[in-house]
């Protein structure tokens, strides 16, 4: 899809902070605020990356029920360690304004490589309100697939057809496209059965 066909675009802003040489975490803690549907979508996004790359590099186990209430603003000062944390907030959280400080637009998610992903629920729901996605599950899954790419050390790509595009484009298939896969495999080891997950360019 060309840029001239951009429809209902919403900026996704993600921060990559720490060097990949520090290694991946042993597990990912999931905020207790995630619904079962959201937990399933996050797990599915991880499986799609594993399948596409034919590599277990990103196959990191989840631990459910992280009590974010004990560290309500912990997502603002993430520390890299053996555990990464996936948070769920909305834009009424006072920490949201610090999270987006200095950035344009209203992020639906923000990521620090192998350390943290913050999902902003009401901003994800706005994707449905604006007609970009038919329902919340689809909007959340696209956000999870994109942010997981940042979690794995990928930056934005210019192509509107890439899952790592800096904007969300209506009508673009939610999948790991060939360009994004080649980008990932250029900086990580991929298996011999690596393949894009998009219907139009599977190998």
Which residue has better confidence, 35 or 202? 35
Please answer whether residues 45 and 101 qualify as being in contact, where contact means their C-beta atoms are separated by less than 8 angstroms: no
CA 4 from chain centre, in angstroms, equals 25
pLDDT digits (tens, 9 = 90+) for 37-74: 999 999 999 999 999 999 988 899 999 999 999 988 99
Taking only Cα atoms into account, the Rg of the chain, rounded to an integer number of angstroms, comes to 16
% of the chain with per-residue pLDDT over 90 = 70
| Fold exhibited by the domain 3-187 | Collagenase (Catalytic Domain) (3.40.390)
Task: Give the pLDDT of residue 78.
Answer: 87
Q: What is the pTM of this model?
A: 0.87
Give the three-state DSSP class for 29: strand
Q: How far apart are CA 150 and CA 111, in angstroms?
A: 6
- Where in the chain are the domains? 3-187
* Nearest residue to 10 (alpha-carbon basis) of 122, 102, 155, 148: 122
pLDDT digits (tens, 9 = 90+) for 137-149: 999 999 999 999 9
In sequence order, the β-bridge partners of residue 112 are 116
- Is 6 a residue whose pLDDT tops 80? no
């Amino acid at each position: 899809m060309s840029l001239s066909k951009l429809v209902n675009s919403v900026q996704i802003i993600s921060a990559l902070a720490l060097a990949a040489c520090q290694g991946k975490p042993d597990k990912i803690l999931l905020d207790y605020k995630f619904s079962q549907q959201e937990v399933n979508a996050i797990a599915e996004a991880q499986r799609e990356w594993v399948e596409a790359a034919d590599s277990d590099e990103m196959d990191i186990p989840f631990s459910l029920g992280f009590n974010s209430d004990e560290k309500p603003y912990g997502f603002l000062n993430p520390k890299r360690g053996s555990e990464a944390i996936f948070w769920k907030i909305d834009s009424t959280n006072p920490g949201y304004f610090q999270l987006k400080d200095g950035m344009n637009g209203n992020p639906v998610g923000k990521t620090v490589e192998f350390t943290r992903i913050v999902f902003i629920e009401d901003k994800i729901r706005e994707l449905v309100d604006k007609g970009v996605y038919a329902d919340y599950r689809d909007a959340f899954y696209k956000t999870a697939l994109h942010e997981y790419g940042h979690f794995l050390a990928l930056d934005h790509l210019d192509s509107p057809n890439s899952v790592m595009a800096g904007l969300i484009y209506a009508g673009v298939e939610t999948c790991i496209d060939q360009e994004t896969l080649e980008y990932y495999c250029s900086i990580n080891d991929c298996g011999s059965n690596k393949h894009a997950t998009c219907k139009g360019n599977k190998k």
